[in-house]
Structure 1
Amino acid sequence: MKRRLALISEHASPFGVLGGVDSGGQNVYVGQLAKHLAAMGYTVDVFTRRDHTLLPEIADWVDGVRLIHVPAGPATHVRKEDLLPFMADFTGYVLQFCKRQTVTYDLIHANFWMSGLVAADVKRQLGIPFVMTFHALGRVRRLHQGKADEFPDERFAIEDRIAAEADAIIAECPQDEEDLCQLYHADPSKIVIIPCGFNPTEFEPLSKPLARVALGLPANERVLLQLGRMVPRKGIDTVIRSLAHLVQDYQTPAHLIVVGGDGNDFDSRITAEVSRLKAIAAEVGISDRVIFMGRQRREMLKYYYSAADVFITTPWYEPFGITPIEAMACGTPVIGANVGGIKFTVRDGETGYLVPPNEPVAIAERLAYLYQQPELLSTFRQQAIKRANALFTWQTVTTAIARLYERVVAENQPEQRSTINALALIDRRFEGALTALQTSRQQLQDSILSAAAMLSDCFQQGGKVLLCGNGGSAADAQHCAAEFVGRFRCGDRPGFPAMALTADSAVLTAWANDMGYDNVFARQVESFGKAGDVLIGISTSGRSQNVVQAFTVARSLGMQTLAILGGDGGELRLLADHCLLVPSSEPQHIQEVQIVIIHLLCELVEQWFVAPSSVVSRQPLANHLQAIERQLGKAIAPDGKAIAPDQFPAPIG
């Protein structure tokens, strides 16, 4: 369904210049989210304050996205700390816009607390539900900045109201969720963790030598990078001091590139901050090693990320922080402060290092270690690229946010509540299936290999396989037999002798009628089985008496037995020579994993029969684990990758 959305971002326009004191991650977030939502079919209006006389009221930005420049306050830059008095006008404009344009929005997504105030007031007037992304929390800011925080105290009460009235709240990392619950008493059921993202077409690894040539940087020097807003809380002074320690304590010379802001900025705070940082560099004796590049066009940032050996970001606190993700996407390891979103995006010892804020000695120690271990630095680069692309693309992020939108819209439309319940059920069932598959993948690999080897040996030596089970397991037994007799993937092989004991309805009904159903499989095992054959029993509980009795007879004949079970395995677990026990107590999830196991057994046996030299006993185990990884991985995720436990910490919906 095509929906119309309003994104409110009162001070951070997608047109904002990055690196300024009030321009940064929120500008990127709003712009990228709007573009990707439009690509998914949504119609998006971005409401942002008009801060220049040349800006039109309504501007088409990209297909499906309009920028609405709201006349609230003077048409010039106003510090975000001073914008609250203009929010009543902002709200009034949005209400009039909806009436004048006869626009009906399905949902509002507010960004930052003043936008949340507008959304909450619009909801009261028009009943439009809203989703909230705070991007930063006032109580957290006041805790870290104290008197330097110039936002009005009214912010705290407004944020309390927003947390109570929002239909859903997007926390950008686990720390954000914790702060919302502890400091604002937000309802945990309304909070969904969805991180920020990056655009892979915008940030990708470039050749380091070529990136340095493009920027005029020395080809063989050690280069460090700091990129972001020029404000004291970003801790750029800590990075400068760390370079001094690296040079003086570890005799490891390097250059630090600082990108962001410059002395010509309209805000004197940037000029003051750059001057302060230059004074610190002079104080610690490394002025010639710190290069202030000022603002850079966004399309140039990937050159800076790619040119650097390490990206360093050590703020006092950080609600999320997009720059570490952008750096990792360009293949640059990150040393980051162990705070907020950074400790979520950067994996310590895997894609870089986490250090305490305000501790330059710790940064220098990590840098020195990395420069002494070039292979580790290279490993971090590869792992950084992998993590960024696996978890933090805007496509992934927007998909999660769109799912949240649909849930919120449905919850506010009573006629769709049955749909909500159905979608929640779908999510729960998929989540349960994925958990069962993932756990089975971790626990059953060796057992699957052993079972496949036994079946392969049976066929190689002229034996046959009998299969039995009840209900859905009966169908699985017939399915498995059909794959063995016919083919699974390889057509150029003979049929494998396999027979499902559930397939002959005349035998089943006659024997069950005359002698009882508990013996229907045992009687057939007596008739068809012999030493060297294999009996496969499929059961979700392991307590089916007709399967138990069949196993007892098979063992007396010298046959080998394989049980594919769930739960605690019941009696069959003790009777089986080989047991594949699905670690789940839910029958439907057990059956879902059992069919994956059956397919794995068919493929492995087929591979080994066609290429006998690759039988388990003749090749390292690791070679065969790849087949299981490949098949279970495909069952878990469409792209063939397993779902990692550190991905989105809370399921959407």
Structure 2
Amino acid sequence: MESLKIALVSDWFFPSVGGIEYHIHDLATQLTHLGHDVHVITRFGDYPDEKLPYEVHRFKGRITMDGSYVSIGAGVLKKVNELYKREHFDITHSHSIYSPMAVGVTNLSGGIRGVPSVITDHSLLGDSILNPMYIMLLRFSLRKVDSFIAVSNAVEKDIRSILGKSLRNREIYLIPNGIDTEFWRPSEDREKRKEALGLRGVVVTTTSRLTKRKRTHVIPKIARGIKKEYGKDVTFLIIGDGPERNNIERLIRKYDVGDVVKLLGRQPRVNVREYLQASDVYFSPTVYEAFGIAALEALACGVPVVANNHGGISEIVEHGKTGLVSNNDDELMQNLMSLIADEERRQEMGKNARKSVENHFSWEAVVSQVFNAYKETMDQANEEPFVLYKLHQTLKRGIANAGVFNL
């Protein structure tokens, strides 16, 4: 495999944690192990970058939104431009069409530096009265992207809807997120894992950022119905943090389920794995999920998933084989109860889940698809710079030739 110098770009990277952050880290690590020279370009942040197996370049803009982990400003692109002139990247791979740094650097890459670019869309646009404005902005700002990667069919459909005719003949590669199947693996003894964590009975786990969009706030009400049926023999674990935490705590008190719902907050990756290895069912109530990395981690740990039949998560969960997908909240509740009641079915689905991840979502399978997207993008890229940049370069050469300045 030919060695490439690759720039991975996004606002969302360590020390913030989430699906995109870990995806970039894992992809960078895999590409580095294959002999590529990988550089992550991201916002400022306090993190021991020197311990990572690849280069990290951090930039701070004039405008910083800590809550959104975004830092923007013209000064950032000026500094990134100097980095590109120094490093001579072969390709730019940005992450999230909603990341200002990803979109800005992609435009710099193709419009000024002549470096081919691909951007992975990890999210769905969702519903908002501001969507017409967002779509207009995205169509304008993504015009220099050479190709796209969609992590699911739902995301590909979203990209086509957003870009419309402005997509032109640019390629959209359908490549799922990868997962480290050596790290995310089943426990040899689930009951011992439960005992070590102080858990008992059937364990139902959700790992998520606590936002309205993720709908983790429905869990306390569902837990109340389960508690009426099974008492304290079922425990709900909610792993994660976010703006909905106070509301979820209030709902736990309202529905009197503090004895069966444990709000564990943000946990290190190793702890998340241990909780998943102790889990009998993974529960995902969201309806806007572009892919579902958290659900994929559960499947890799041999845990069947109960989820809504919306977005990308329903593409990784095979209904009746690796989990159950639902069309509404009533069905979601019924599917959850059916798995809680059937240990044999849970175990069979768990085995199927692990095999499915190994066959379709291992990094070995995914990274080769990403590399092929790089090569095809590089072969077909339009290296035409921005018109204003061409004018700037023309004027610059003219002035230099006239001997006015030594540029």
Q: Aligned equivalents of 2:319 and 2:371: distance in 1?
A: 31
Q: Deviations over 1:11-48 (max 9, x none)?
A: x11x2343xxxxx1000111001010111111011001
* SS of alignment partner, residue 7 of structure 1: strand
2:253 corresponds to: 282
1:136 corresponds to: 123
Report the alpha carbon displacement of residue 203 of structure 1 after superposing the two structures with TM: 0.4
Q: Aligned equivalents of 1:226 and 1:260: distance in 2?
A: 9
Report the alpha carbon displacement of residue 189 of structure 1 after superposing the two structures with TM: 5.2
2:174 corresponds to: 193
Report the alpha carbon displacement of residue 119 of structure 1 after superposing the two structures with TM: 0.8
2:196 corresponds to: 214
* SS of alignment partner, residue 312 of structure 1: strand
Report the alpha carbon displacement of residue 245 of structure 1 after superposing the two structures with TM: 1.8
Kept in 1, the 8 Å contact 2:16–2:69? The answer is no
Report the alpha carbon displacement of residue 305 of structure 1 after superposing the two structures with TM: 0.7
2:184 corresponds to: 203
Q: Aligned equivalents of 1:353 and 1:246: distance in 2?
A: 17
Identify which of 383, 390, 402 aligns with 2:359.
390
* SS of alignment partner, residue 206 of structure 2: strand
2:152 corresponds to: 173
Q: Deviations over 1:250-281 (max 9, x none)?
A: 768411011112xxxxxxxx3x5111011112
2:405 corresponds to: none
- What pairs with 1:24-103 in structure 2 (closer than 5 Å)? 24-52=18-46, 59-63=49-53, 65-73=54-62, 78-80=66-68, 83=71, 86-99=72-85, 102-103=86-87
1:626 corresponds to: none
* SS of alignment partner, residue 378 of structure 2: helix
Report the alpha carbon displacement of residue 241 of structure 1 after superposing the two structures with TM: 1.9
Q: Aligned equivalents of 1:89 and 1:395: distance in 2?
A: 38
Q: Deviations over 1:360-409 (max 9, x none)?
A: x3232112212332221111011100111111112211111011101111
* SS of alignment partner, residue 126 of structure 1: coil
Change (3 A) 1:255 1:180: same
TM-score by length of 2: 0.86
Q: Does 1:238 align with 2:218?
A: yes
Report the alpha carbon displacement of residue 117 of structure 1 after superposing the two structures with TM: 2.9
TM-score by length of 1: 0.54
Report the alpha carbon displacement of residue 172 of structure 1 after superposing the two structures with TM: 0.6
Q: Deviations over 1:584-642 (max 9, x none)?
A: xxxxxxxxxxxxxxxxxxxxxxxxxxxxxxxxxxxxxxxxxxxxxxxxxxxxxxxxxxx
Report the alpha carbon displacement of residue 213 of structure 1 after superposing the two structures with TM: 2.7
Report the alpha carbon displacement of residue 285 of structure 1 after superposing the two structures with TM: 2.5
Kept in 2, the 8 Å contact 1:258–1:294? The answer is yes
Q: Return the letter of the residue paired with 2:338.
A: Y
Kept in 1, the 8 Å contact 2:287–2:311? The answer is no
Kept in 2, the 8 Å contact 1:25–1:322? The answer is yes
Q: Return the letter of the residue paired with 1:161.
A: F
Q: Does 1:16 align with 2:2?
A: no
2:373 corresponds to: 404
Kept in 2, the 8 Å contact 1:239–1:312? The answer is no
Kept in 2, the 8 Å contact 1:250–1:368? The answer is no
1:5 corresponds to: 6
Q: Aligned equivalents of 1:215 and 1:236: distance in 2?
A: 22
Kept in 1, the 8 Å contact 2:103–2:142? The answer is no
Q: Deviations over 1:100-145 (max 9, x none)?
A: xx210110001122212321133111111100112224xx23x1xx
Q: Return the letter of the residue paired with 2:306.
A: I
Q: Return the letter of the residue paired with 1:395.
A: E
Query: Over aligned residue pairs, what C-alpha RMSD do you find?
Result: 2.4
Q: Aligned equivalents of 1:8 and 1:134: distance in 2?
A: 12
1:322 corresponds to: 293
1:604 corresponds to: none
Q: Deviations over 1:283-338 (max 9, x none)?
A: 22212211111111111211111111101012130111201110000000000121
Q: Return the letter of the residue paired with 2:116.
A: P
Give the unaligned 5+ runs of structure 2. Answer: 384-407
* SS of alignment partner, residue 311 of structure 1: strand
* SS of alignment partner, residue 98 of structure 1: helix
* SS of alignment partner, residue 253 of structure 2: helix
- More helix as a share of residues: 1
Kept in 1, the 8 Å contact 2:339–2:345? The answer is yes
Kept in 1, the 8 Å contact 2:106–2:144? The answer is no
Residues matched between the structures, number = 376
Q: Return the letter of the residue paired with 1:125.
A: I
Q: Deviations over 1:547-579 (max 9, x none)?
A: xxxxxxxxxxxxxxxxxxxxxxxxxxxxxxxxx
1:119 corresponds to: 106
Change (3 A) 1:334 1:62: same
Kept in 2, the 8 Å contact 1:338–1:355? The answer is yes
Q: Return the letter of the residue paired with 1:192.
A: Y
* SS of alignment partner, residue 288 of structure 1: coil
Identify which of 146, 158, 162 aligns with 2:137.
158
Change (3 A) 1:188 1:211: farther
* SS of alignment partner, residue 66 of structure 2: coil
Q: Return the letter of the residue paired with 1:91.
A: L
* SS of alignment partner, residue 23 of structure 2: helix
* SS of alignment partner, residue 275 of structure 1: helix
- What pairs with 1:400-479 in structure 2 (closer than 5 Å)? 400-412=369-381
Q: Aligned equivalents of 2:40 and 2:268: distance in 1?
A: 22
Q: Does 1:372 align with 2:341?
A: yes
Report the alpha carbon displacement of residue 81 of structure 1 after superposing the two structures with TM: 7.9
Kept in 1, the 8 Å contact 2:309–2:325? The answer is yes
Kept in 1, the 8 Å contact 2:43–2:59? The answer is yes
Q: Aligned equivalents of 2:334 and 2:175: distance in 1?
A: 33
Change (3 A) 1:350 1:310: same
Kept in 2, the 8 Å contact 1:246–1:368? The answer is yes
- What pairs with 1:618-633 in structure 2 (closer than 5 Å)? none
Kept in 1, the 8 Å contact 2:92–2:109? The answer is no
- What pairs with 1:202-601 in structure 2 (closer than 5 Å)? 202-206=183-187, 207-218=189-200, 221-248=201-228, 253-261=233-241, 270=242, 272-356=243-327, 359=329, 361-412=330-381
Change (3 A) 1:313 1:46: same
Q: Aligned equivalents of 2:160 and 2:313: distance in 1?
A: 20
Give the unaligned 5+ runs of structure 1. Answer: 19-23, 262-269, 415-653
Q: Aligned equivalents of 2:51 and 2:366: distance in 1?
A: 21
Q: Aligned equivalents of 2:96 and 2:134: distance in 1?
A: 11
Change (3 A) 1:413 1:178: closer
Q: Which has the higher contact order (CA 8 A, sep 6+)?
A: 2
